[in-house]
Amino acid sequence: HGDHDLTIVSAQVKNPGRYARVIRDNQGNIKKIVETRNATELEATSKEINLGVYCFNNELLYKYLPEIEDDSKEELNIIDLVSVMRKNGHKIQAIKIEDASEFMGINDRFELAKASQWMRNKINHYWLEKGVSILDPNNTYIGPDVEIEADVIIEPNSHIYGNSIIMSGVTVTANSYIVNSEIGPNTVIESSKIVDSKVGSDSTVGPFAHLRNHTELGNHVRVGNFVEMKNTKVGNHTATAHLSYLGDAEVGSYVNIGCGVVTINYDGKEKHKTVIGDHSFVGSQSGLVAPVTVGENVLVAAGSMITEDVESDDLAIARQRQSIKKGYGRKYLEEKGKI
């Protein structure tokens, strides 16, 4: 700004479109800014456009604001201050920028989408130059605060936002959604949602898994399809392969969580914690009613409903013994007209 009373930002473009034109005199001094609809045929040939950024001497700004008159649309337009201040002998300068798209005007949803696309392309181009493989830059969404190391692969329609950190060797497959999360080296995120969580190295998440609320996975962990984890810490080499919910849990290392296992953490008023020790095996379709602790090297039989603590090295079976009534199946179906 220096000793100038007004500084504007402008750009030289090939196609000014509907942008207001910067008009200069024969000596190259700024004379005025004119809206396209009010420009003369000669003024409309100007390729220098106004980008809507102004730096005023405050005292002069408030002095001359009352001198602005209504335009053809009965609007008061701040660009008229340029001609007013020039008429009163004040110094005016323009700072020209090379890329006018950085100052794109946004007046409707279409222009907002266009600006978002420009920003998305700029961000994706930056990461491509840094050694990140973005398979479809036009269909990948990365926030401005995300950090990505080299040799990461990001497939189409992936969304990575917030203060997320994606480390080297990670693959993020199509339709993944990651927010404020850290993904360790050589991990694969398969079409999954991860929010406010941390995943260790050499792990796999998904497809269609959901990690949230400060879940933390160790290294060499497997979280399979349709698994949800909330506020849960998982040790190394632990597998939860499919169709399970672990909420408010602490799971050790080398643990196997069978299909359909649920930690029942909510009593209708408060959330409670479940602890599962190292090297334990929780059989399919089991429920763990928190607060409850399962020790190390424990086997929980499939279909059990665990309501009490299980000490290390024990087997827990909490289900009714199967009974068979001979011939009753056929009798029932005949009565219902099914056979």
The answer to whether residues 140 and 158 touch, using CB atoms and an 8 Å cutoff, is yes
* Cα dihedral 156/161/164/168 (nearest 10): 20
Say how far apart CA 83 and CA 222 lie, in whole Å: 68
Say how far apart CA 274 and CA 270 lie, in whole Å: 13
Please pick, among 210, 220, 237, 242, the residue that the annotation labels catalytic.
242
The answer to whether residues 249 and 268 touch, using CB atoms and an 8 Å cutoff, is no
Residues 6 or more apart whose Cβ sits within 8 Å of residue 94: 7, 8, 9, 10, 22, 30, 48
CA triple 203-194-140, angle to 5 deg: 100
Question: Any idea what DSSP says for residue 248?
Answer: S
The answer to whether residues 291 and 263 touch, using CB atoms and an 8 Å cutoff, is no
For the chain, how many residues are written?
339
Q: Within 10 A of 179 (CB to CB), how many other CB atoms are there?
A: 18
Active site residue 90: no
- Exposed/middle/buried for 21, CB within 10 Å: 0-12, 13-18, 19+? buried
Residues 6 or more apart whose Cβ sits within 8 Å of residue 122: none
Q: Are strands 165-166 and 245-247 parallel, antiparallel or unpaired?
A: unpaired
What positions carry a catalytic annotation? Answer: 242
